[in-house]
Chain A
Amino acid sequence: MIEWDKIEENYELPSLTKEPVTQLQLIKYAGASGDFNQIHTIPEFAKEAGLDGTIAHGMLSMGILGQMISSFAGIKPIRKYSVTFKSMAKPGDILTAKGIVKKKYEKDGAKLIDCKVHIEDQNGDVKVDGKVTIAF
């Protein structure tokens, strides 16, 4: 991980752009996570629920954002990670994870940064936004 001294507010975390979301990926994600809500896997079911077709698990987007965060910092330094789900991602969407340092501070002897993080699609629409606290 980058050194504490080299980080300053507005430092951008290395972004991550994924391959397009596929229906197969949602099937794999259902099995991996145990979230078998069929709006993610069965198109007919999604249509009955009033959607145009299947939608990605929100947690898949949070997982992709998590990939960006742990690629940057690993697992141990992550203190808090929270997100709000803003809009639905669908098969075919190309998701990009981004983050920026908003606050650098010391508290109770720990060196910390708070980052704003989000997932956007190929049109720049925000799917998920969140916050992560990382210790150095």
Chain B
Amino acid sequence: MLDMSFQGKEFPGYNFEVDRSKIKELCLAIGDDNPLFFDKEFAIKEGYKDTPASLTFPTVLNFWGYPEIWKRMTEMGINIKRLLHAKEDYEYFAPIYPGDIITGTVAVESMRDSAAMEMVTFKSVYKRGDETVLIAKMTIVVPGGN
């Protein structure tokens, strides 16, 4: 059963330094061999400052930047053994590059608890200094609810 008092709650922010090898590692796991993510000279020719992070790199920021999310979910009453990923939503404002220090802040945007399912949406805002570079939303469900 979800603890609805978490609705709207914002968790403490964290910093994550973007490592070039982490950008490559995610692409290697996906099997994405686009030189844009591997070859700095190629990326510069294409008009980038360096090899940018790929489109789903926010997942690295989420889990490596804030591994405590699993503990937070448990505290919220989410059965993490039964959770399913329902939706993922990104809005991009600027590319993320190796060496960037990204500050992430996770908040509980919405919670729903019914007999059919529990559903929670987390919203993460990622900043580089004062500049918002990315907003990510992750929705998880636990079928069968409580």
CA distance A10 to B55 in the complex (A): 23
**Do residues B56 and A75 form an inter-chain contact, with CB atoms below 8 A?**
no
**Do residues A74 and B30 form an inter-chain contact, with CB atoms below 8 A?**
no
Instruction: Tell which of B30, B80, B86, B90 has the most Cβ of chain A within 10 Å.
Output: B30
CA distance A102 to B53 in the complex (A): 27
Smallest CB-CB separation from A95: which chain B residue?
Answer: B31
CA distance A35 to B29 in the complex (A): 13
Which A residues touch B82, using CB under 8 A?
Answer: 49
- Listed A/B pairs (28) with beta-carbon separation below 8 Å: A25-B29, A29-B29, A31-B29, A32-B26, A32-B28, A33-B63, A37-B80, A49-B81, A58-B88, A59-B56, A63-B32, A63-B56, A64-B32, A70-B32, A70-B55, A71-B34, A75-B48, A75-B53, A75-B54, A75-B92, A76-B48, A76-B52, A79-B91, A80-B90, A80-B91, A81-B89, A82-B87, A82-B88
Task: Give min CB distance, B145 to chain A, whole Å.
Answer: 16
The list of the 9 closest CB pairs from A to B, nearest first, reads A34-B63, A66-B55, A82-B89, A32-B29, A67-B32, A63-B30, A34-B64, A28-B29, A29-B29
Which A residues touch B89, using CB under 8 A?
Answer: 80-83
**Do residues A63 and B81 form an inter-chain contact, with CB atoms below 8 A?**
no
Interface positions of A from 54 to 109, Cβ below 8 Å from B: 58-60, 62-64, 66-67, 69-71, 74-76, 78-85
CA distance A71 to B47 in the complex (A): 15
Query: Within the complex, which residue of B22, B52, B87 is in contact with A75, where a contact is CB–CB below 8 Å?
Result: B52
**Do residues B85 and A75 form an inter-chain contact, with CB atoms below 8 A?**
no
Binding site for A on B (CB under 8 A): 22, 25-26, 28-32, 34, 36, 46-48, 52-56, 59-60, 62-64, 67, 80-82, 84-92, 95, 137
Task: Give min CB distance, A16 to chain B, whole Å.
Answer: 9
Let me know if A3 is at the binding interface, CB within 8 A. Answer: no
Let me know if A18 is at the binding interface, CB within 8 A. Answer: yes
CA distance A37 to B59 in the complex (A): 13
**Do residues A33 and B60 form an inter-chain contact, with CB atoms below 8 A?**
yes
Let me know if A5 is at the binding interface, CB within 8 A. Answer: no
Query: Within the complex, which residue of B36, B47, B86 is in contact with A84, where a contact is CB–CB below 8 Å?
Result: B86
Known pairs A31-B25, A59-B85, A67-B30 / 11 extra A-B pairs, C-beta < 8 Å = A28-B29, A32-B22, A33-B26, A35-B63, A59-B56, A63-B30, A63-B32, A70-B36, A76-B48, A80-B91, A85-B86
CA distance A78 to B55 in the complex (A): 8
